[in-house]
A and B are shown apart, each in its own frame.
Chain A
Amino acid sequence: MDIILGYVTTILVFFFTYNIFTLGLNIQFGYTGILNFTVITFMAIGGYVAAVLAMPKAPAGSGIYYILGLNLPWPIAALGGVLAAGLLGYLIGQIALKRLRSDYLAIVTLATGTLLYGLIGNGTSIFDGWQGLFNVPQPFAGFRTWTPLGYSIFFTIVTAVIFVFLWLFANRIYKSPLGRVMRAVRDDQDVVEAFGKNTFKIRMTAMVLGSMYVGVGGVLTIAYITALSPAGWTTGETFVVWAALLVGGRGNNFGAIVGSFLVAVVFNEATRYLPQIPAHPNLIPDIRYVLIGLAVILSVYFRPQGVFPEKKNTFFEVPLGDNSKTIEEHLAGGLSKVGEQ
């Protein structure tokens, strides 16, 4: 029973964190039309920075090297990680969001991802190179004496609460005037600009917000697994998030949940149990990526709006029942007679 529960909690944490990545990408791409081709790098930066803030100094002579090691309490470390991810988004935005075609931003995100992957891997003194960080202290581990399962359940609840909060906030942005302008930017940036709105600022807001969302996911990931190395954030993982968003439904946060569930949980977990072929240890992951790549291409071809398309937004409407008056007469009476639908 404990084994099953432990498995379920792990899957749930996995599900919620991927959901948070997908929400972040939805704010960037689904709302605002920003092509971020290195989603997973923001997860890594968020996770790494939170970890080195929470970890004590690397013991001398251990062959382990990393920066900072401030031994800070987790809430502060987590905040640091999220802000670092946001800062990376801000820097990329400064380079590529100023009135350039969307191709350029895509190129810069991809280039940044490749660059940081190499820098972090080869630069052994930053986050311990290819070996990666491990033995990251778990948040609230000293809070009380936990059983392993008890801690897993506690962590799952924390993750769930954070996810629900972020989901509600993403919805609130969507429905707000800001979200409306973001969607207009997605549909035609030049027109929004001509209407007197600073589209750079709007896109930058979405870029940084989305990056911070992904950063939250990264912090949760490293806090739960207590380790992270470059092998854990290869380019392929970015596609998993893209596939989840595109399958679920761009611009629709509910779709993002369904997509995350289908791609990151059902598909990922199902392929994990395929029999390994000893001569080809990489065959299964490769086939998995072939299918993810196909999912991205096919969903764009057949159903670019996803399984759950963006919902149509209607506003306050004149009550339909009252046919005795024309719309002009209704309007003459002002909005007092106009109800919300």
Chain B
Amino acid sequence: MNNRTISTIAPEPGGLAAVRGWFGELDWRRYVIYIGFVVVFAFFAVLLRDQGFLSPNNLLNIFRQTATITVIAVGMTYVIACAEIDLSVGSTAGLSSVCTAMALSQWGIIPGILAGLAVGLVVGSVNGALVSLLGIPSFLVTLGMLGIAVGVAQWITASAPQPILNDTFNMIFGSGNFGPVPGLLVWSAVFVAIGAVVLSRTKFGRQVLATGGNRTAADFTGINTKRIKFQVLLISGLVASVAGMLYAGRLESGRFQWGAGDELSAIAAVILGGTSLFGGAGSVVGTLFGALLIGLINNGLILAGLDSSQQQVVRGAIIILAVALARKK
């Protein structure tokens, strides 16, 4: 906050003062998620060393358990960076798992995958169109869609789980390994890598950030902000539908409950990762660490023997603490 005056008076800030000014302003708050991750990790590593926290299997488990949240949160990063919100991702994942399972048992693997993606395409397009063309706040649109998607999923299955007996599908989407690496880890790595590059290194990414930062200025600069808003919600829907298929593959069935409540974990991961809730700034790598931190906490608390009610309390407290530390002054 003090920097205003500095930057205006110092056309050529001389030597040492400039360096000091520079580092003094290097904002540790931006890195709080990484610091928090290391601290929590170290804490559990010491506290839970006898419960096998550091065993390779447990560490891989953390990745496996957070994979779907990570994937959903990558899409959510775009939505939030664009100053919108998508509450329908969890139930979109559920609907996608159900549709994939049903189409797969009828017509085979390719139609199954296409059916899942179609769910994301339809949900995302409807969300996007209502928000960008009709100007309805995304909070309301996607809150409605949350109910619609989960309702449809329950309806068409009559609340019954839809088993998936296709081993190829299950292997690719979550159950299997690519070589020595668990498939879910590869999926999250691919989504994070693409998401990070597109957000920070492409024209589209810049336009998403500009639209989220100041929509009027973006409009005046010739950015089609309606299209950008549509696109981020479409991406979020599509990504959520892939997450639904990852649930389906890992749990070898489609169920309307898959993904229930994931929207809140994903939003928490995105905000923990340093993306501004008000739009304009976002980091996909931060989001990955946000999701991993949540997974780490879940895993550690289970190993520590807390029951699920206690876990919820501690998890909530840690998330509030982290966001409080990361907030702008």
Q: Do A and B form a real pair?
A: no
